[in-house]
Structure 1
Amino acid sequence: MRNLGVLLQKEWRENVRNYKLFWIPVVFIIFGIIEPVTNHFLPQIMKSIGNMPEGTEFVWPELRGEDIFVSLMGQYQMIGMLILILAFMGSIASERKNGTATLLYVRPMDFGSYFLSKWIVVNAIMLGSMWAGFLAAWYYIDILFNPVDVGEVMQFAGTYSLWVVFAVTVVLALSAWLSTGGVAGVSILVLIVLPVIDSFVGMYWTISPLKLATYASYAFQDALVETSAVWLSIGLTVGLIIGLLLIGIFFAKRNAAKTTV
């Protein structure tokens, strides 16, 4: 596609200048460190500050390293998605509103390259941050809990990565379509509220992008898993990502006329 390389450089420099390339990985890494450390020392912390009557004993569940990975993923499902939405909901919508996009639209530009350049860079930041967080957690899990099989961790993180790519695509497609406020509201509904609802009533369906976090945790389970549902969910998610990419490109081009001059 025309100008994709130039637009990639532009997006990369922009994210360096606004420090997203630095602070987002730091936040994910901090959560990756905090999760195993706090779970390991929580019994001692509660005993020292619990202020409970003498003789009171807490029975703490014995956690495995695999449980810590799943717990950390739960943090990323909430905090990580909020970071994604707040950091990138204005990627296209804000450029239209403040007139920055005018500097691009007056040049011969392919809107497919324009949208994909943002999609590639945002995915690189979010996936790199998530993997850095998991690697930081893995280091402390190995020290404080038990070694976790490399293959299981790769399967776990790889499946969850597809959810992250889906989430990035949702946010950017909405940014191409709606105003910044609309992007925030709909993104929170799709990426945070709906997965919470799915955790309560999701037993009635097995094929959905909302299931990817649950299916990622199956990497650590010995029980038999219905692999057809997992692969169908993966296939559906890939199809939705492709569809959202096309929708995002369409609305980026269609709404170019709404750019503030």
Structure 2
Amino acid sequence: MNQFGVLLKKEWRENFRNYKLFWIPVVFILFGIIEPLTNYFLPQILDSVGNLPEGAVIDIPPPEPEQILAAVMGQYQLVGLLVLVLAYMGAIAGERKNGTATLLYVRPLSFTAYFLSKWILASVVGLLSVWLGLITAYYYTMLLFERIDFTKFLQFAGTYSLWILLVVTFVLLLSAAMPNAGMAAAASLLLIIIFQLADGLFGAYWTVSPLKIPGYAVSWLLDSPGNKEFWGTMGISVFLILAMLGSGIWMSKYNASKTKV
């Protein structure tokens, strides 16, 4: 436990010194602000750049507040995931590549504590960023449009949080498995894109899958997902996270000998 605490403090300092604790939440908050503001001022934006005939009137019905939060989540599915992948692609592979891991590996090291300390900090930063961004989007949506039931919002954000944990765990697993940060990032992004494309093309044939988490998150805003499908998906996702944690710990230990000296 003492070693785990030391490693956790090390990760905290690294995330603080390289400003991940600041710039990652800022990115998510900005997208949480931009989406409702863009929708609110869209008629004026189109009027100023649209070169419309004189006297023409732009009448765009205001979007539903649920649609705005879903659009914010869509931005996180693109830019947000890219930010998390780039931020943590070198968490383990980068330390092996530049030789800084040698300072740890020459001592008796618990690779369970080593991997979990990185996972906890990356998860905390990822979840903090998502929640700050979604709460910001919720506030501006309520301010500019209509209020969304807060219980539905919590169900929406809580469900999407599991997806963020799944992605963070997947990125750290590949960072432990790949020889360098670049390959970890490329593999993470490529596989996430392939999985989501596969779900978009063939997802109608299955309803229980971790890839359905973002869709089930949005469904809390509109109605509610089916209990059987939803809880089946949650259970499989938790199992996958635990399996990837175990695999990440094993890969960290297996590839320790490949550290640059």
Total equivalences in the alignment:
260
User: Are the counterparts in 1 of residues 40 and 62 from structure 2 also a CA contact under 8 Å?
Assistant: no
Q: Distance in 1 between matches of 2:99 and 2:42?
A: 50
Cα distance per residue 1:195-247 (max 9 Å; x no partner): 2442343112111111100000011123x642211111111100000000000
Which residue does the alignment assign to 1:244?
Answer: 244
Mind listing any 5+ residue stretches in structure 2 that lack a counterpart?
Answer: none
Q: Distance in 1 between matches of 2:232 and 2:156?
A: 17
Q: 1:129-144 to 2 correspondence within 5 Å?
A: 129-144=129-144
Cα distance per residue 1:98-124 (max 9 Å; x no partner): 100000011111000000000000000
TM-score by length of 1: 0.95
Structure 1 pair 69–254 and aligned structure 2 pair: CA distance change class (3 A): same
Q: 1:5-44 to 2 correspondence within 5 Å?
A: 5-44=5-44
Instruction: Return 104-113 or 199-208, whichever deviates more.
Output: 199-208
Q: Do structure 1's residue 98 and structure 2's residue 84 form an aligned pair?
A: no
Cα offset for 1:84? 0.7
User: Are the counterparts in 2 of residues 85 and 171 from structure 1 also a CA contact under 8 Å?
Assistant: yes
Which residue does the alignment assign to 2:122?
Answer: 122
Which residue does the alignment assign to 1:89?
Answer: 89
User: In structure 1, the residue corresponding to 2:91 is in which secondary structure?
Assistant: coil
Cα offset for 1:24? 0.5
Which residue does the alignment assign to 1:185?
Answer: 186
User: Are the counterparts in 2 of residues 2 and 109 from structure 1 also a CA contact under 8 Å?
Assistant: no
Percent sequence identity is: 53
Q: Do structure 1's residue 154 and structure 2's residue 154 form an aligned pair?
A: yes
TM-score by length of 2: 0.95
Q: Distance in 2 between matches of 1:236 and 1:60?
A: 42
Q: 1:173-252 to 2 correspondence within 5 Å?
A: 173-179=173-179, 180-222=181-223, 225-252=225-252
User: In structure 2, the residue corresponding to 1:108 is in which secondary structure?
Assistant: coil
Q: Distance in 2 between matches of 1:200 and 1:153?
A: 28
Q: Distance in 2 between matches of 1:118 and 1:34?
A: 31
Mind listing any 5+ residue stretches in structure 1 that lack a counterpart?
Answer: none
Which residue does the alignment assign to 1:259?
Answer: 259
Q: Distance in 1 between matches of 2:57 and 2:199?
A: 35
User: Are the counterparts in 2 of residues 93 and 175 from structure 1 also a CA contact under 8 Å?
Assistant: yes
Q: Distance in 1 between matches of 2:118 and 2:153?
A: 28
Structure 1 pair 197–109 and aligned structure 2 pair: CA distance change class (3 A): same
User: In structure 2, the residue corresponding to 1:126 is in which secondary structure?
Assistant: helix
Cα offset for 1:125? 0.4
